[in-house]
């Protein structure tokens, strides 16, 4: 059974935690009627437990309270403040979190509770995260939670904050998605694991997946934010981007814009990993990738230059004629960088598919015109050029 000092402290903490207004005048009146504290003592406590982060009772305030609260012993004051001065504040944060996510509260009260948690700064983070996990938190309230979390310095984020952003990024509500992805982009320490009780926890895969999904969002600003975050992640993001570039990963999406954006980001990552080039070349055979998107693939491969040329030349042997055609076209756009591929392109002039032969011939012309003329003969070259087949 609790002792009188603890019971008194619990009554004061409960009065402070419940409701939006903290320790109100009405609370003080009730506490005085119950002989927990006098009206004068309650007024002093109100000053110490004022709103926001002011609810932290510092050692200096403990001394001041002791001097001001005649008849209220040190033990009672410490029972209210706790060893870190935050006992009452933590109780209030929990109560505000319950209010914010309660099905039975009016929306304006939910908003007010979120605002109070916001004013607590770092001490309100857990309450905001718990509110976001609430089953009955509406979209408008969720957006306000994200706003509050986005104001907090990144170094202070616990793992639960990432979970709020990840969930928000998956919701089909543009305002929330934008705020959530902004939070993930801002929060770069998700790349390290959290350690709790000797166990490591990571949200790396979930964060990257959320950012990759956002790259395909119809909002251009959101695409830029997500793309920049993935570029900052560098090689960590490559496996997810490679998976997203495949047709089977894009059912139900606007495939053209989504894959084009994924391919663009993949090509901009500063990496020498050959997996990037292989993944890009694999898209040449994707049945759902439109010609415009494949042109984007070629542009990325050309930009990667020598890094990609070796992988592209291997694609000239692919069983899919469309892959051979696009590989030859890509090498042609690389120009002199692909000079070592001339012998292979010359072999491709005997391909059974006419389109592939024309693509190989055009590539030879763009890489080494003298070799191309020698292979074709001057008269053949003039004939092809005159009808625009070489598009020179």
What digits encode the pLDDT tens for the residues 59-71?
Answer: 888 888 888 776 6
285 and 206: one domain? yes
Q: What are phi and psi of 72, to 5 degrees?
A: -105, 105
DSSP SS3 for 194 = strand
Other CB atoms closer than 10 Å to residue 201's CB: what's the count? 10
283 and 337: one domain? no
Q: Angle at which helices 291-304 and 274-282 pack, to 10 degrees? A: 160
Its pTM surpasses 0.85? no
Asked which of 40, 63, 89 is the last residue of a domain, the reply is 89
Per-residue confidence (pLDDT) for residue 264, from 0 to 100: 83
Q: What percent of the chain has pLDDT over 90?
A: 19
Confidence band for 290, pLDDT divided at 50, 70 and 90: low
Residue 17's domain comprises 4-89
297 and 335: one domain? no
Q: Is 90 exceeded by the pLDDT of residue 41?
A: no
Per-residue confidence (pLDDT) for residue 1, from 0 to 100: 43
pLDDT tens digit string along 166-215? 999 988 788 899 999 998 888 766 767 666 667 777 788 888 999 998 88
Mean pLDDT of the region 217-242: 86
299 and 341: one domain? no
337 and 272: one domain? no
Q: Is 60 exceeded by the pLDDT of residue 295?
A: yes
CB-count burial class (<10 Å; 0-12, 13-18, 19+) for 187:
buried
Asked which of 304, 335, 351 is the last residue of a domain, the reply is 304
CB 247 within 8 Å of CB 256: no
Identify the weakest region by mean pLDDT among 43-57, 204-218, 224-238, 375-389.
Answer: 375-389
Count of domains forming the chain:
3
pLDDT tens digit string along 105-136? 888 899 999 999 998 888 899 999 999 887 77
**128 domain-assigned:** no
Which carries the bigger pLDDT value, residue 144 or residue 373?
144
Asked which of 89, 107, 128 is the last residue of a domain, the reply is 89
Q: What are phi and psi of 200, to 5 degrees?
A: -100, 140
Per-residue confidence (pLDDT) for residue 392, from 0 to 100: 47
Confidence band for 144, pLDDT divided at 50, 70 and 90: very high
């Amino acid at each position: 059974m609790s002792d009188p000092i603890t019971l008194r402290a619990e009554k004061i903490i409960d009065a402070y935690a419940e409701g939006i207004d903290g320790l109100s005048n009405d609370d003080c009146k009730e506490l005085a009627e119950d002989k927990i504290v006098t009206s004068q003592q309650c007024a002093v406590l109100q000053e110490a437990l004022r709103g926001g982060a002011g609810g932290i009772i510092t050692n200096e305030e403990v001394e001041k309270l002791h001097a001001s609260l005649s008849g209220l012993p040190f033990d009672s004051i410490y029972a209210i403040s706790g060893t870190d001065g935050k006992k009452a504040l933590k109780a209030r944060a929990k109560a505000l979190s319950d209010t914010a996510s309660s099905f039975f509260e009016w929306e304006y009260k939910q908003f007010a509770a979120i605002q109070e948690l916001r004013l607590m700064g770092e001490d309100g983070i857990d309450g905001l995260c718990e509110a976001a996990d609430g089953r009955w938190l509406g979209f408008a309230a969720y957006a306000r939670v994200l706003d509050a979390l986005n104001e907090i310095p990144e170094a202070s984020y616990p793992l639960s904050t990432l979970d709020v952003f990840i969930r928000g990024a998956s919701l089909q509500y543009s305002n929330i998605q934008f705020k959530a992805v902004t939070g993930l982009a801002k929060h770069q320490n998700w790349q390290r694991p959290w350690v709790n009780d000797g166990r490591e926890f990571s949200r790396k895969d979930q964060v990257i997946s959320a950012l990759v999904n956002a790259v395909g969002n119809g909002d251009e600003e959101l695409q830029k934010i997500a793309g920049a975050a993935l570029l900052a992640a560098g090689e960590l993001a490559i496996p997810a981007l490679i998976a997203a570039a495949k047709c089977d990963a894009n059912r139900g999406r606007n495939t053209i814009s989504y894959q084009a954006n994924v391919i663009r980001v993949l090509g901009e990552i500063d990496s020498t990993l050959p997996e990037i080039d292989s993944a890009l070349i694999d898209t040449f055979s994707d049945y759902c990738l439109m010609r415009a998107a494949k042109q984007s693939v070629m542009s990325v491969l050309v930009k990667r230059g020598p890094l990609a040329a070796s992988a592209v030349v291997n694609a000239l042997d692919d069983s899919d004629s469309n892959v051979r055609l696009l590989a030859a076209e890509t090498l042609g756009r690389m120009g002199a960088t692909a000079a070592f591929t001339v012998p292979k392109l010359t072999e491709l002039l005997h391909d059974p598919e006419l389109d592939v032969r024309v693509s190989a011939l055009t590539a030879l012309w763009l890489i080494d015109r003298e070799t191309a003329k020698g292979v074709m003969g001057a008269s053949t070259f003039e004939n092809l050029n005159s009808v625009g087949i070489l598009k020179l």
